[in-house]
């Protein structure tokens, strides 16, 4: 699959494309890049949420542990 994509890209660089077709091709790549970037943002937001929950859980554990030591 990757070879087919690379071959198509290679062939398209060897021939002159009309400006509208070139713009459509660039738009396709821009939309693909946007989807990849949005996926990265979703992953980063999920990691932030996960780490915040982890911190909250660890602080709660330490707070309970400290009260046991005092008694």
Of 1-5, 11-15, 27-31, 64-68, where does the model show the most confidence? 27-31
Phi, psi of 20 (to 5 degrees): -65, -40
Asked if residue 34 is part of any domain, the answer here is yes
Summarize pLDDT for 2-16 with one digit per residue, the tens: 777 777 777 767 778
Asked if residue 6 is part of any domain, the answer here is no
Domain tally, the chain: 1
pTM: 0.60
Distance of CA 24 to the CA centre of its chain: 24
Asked if residue 57 is part of any domain, the answer here is yes
Asked if residue 13 is part of any domain, the answer here is no
Identify the pLDDT of residue 54: 98
Looking at the predicted structure, is the pLDDT value of residue 55 above 60?
yes
Residue-number span of the structural domain to which 57 is assigned = 27-71
Distance of CA 27 to the CA centre of its chain: 19
């Amino acid at each position: 699959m990757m070879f087919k994509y690379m071959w198509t890209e290679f062939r398209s660089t060897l021939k002159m494309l009309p400006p509208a077709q070139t713009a459509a091709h660039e738009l396709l790549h821009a939309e693909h890049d946007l989807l990849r970037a949005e996926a990265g943002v979703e992953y980063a937001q999920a990691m932030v949420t996960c780490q915040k929950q982890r911190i909250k859980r660890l602080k709660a554990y330490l707070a309970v542990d400290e009260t046991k030591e005092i008694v």
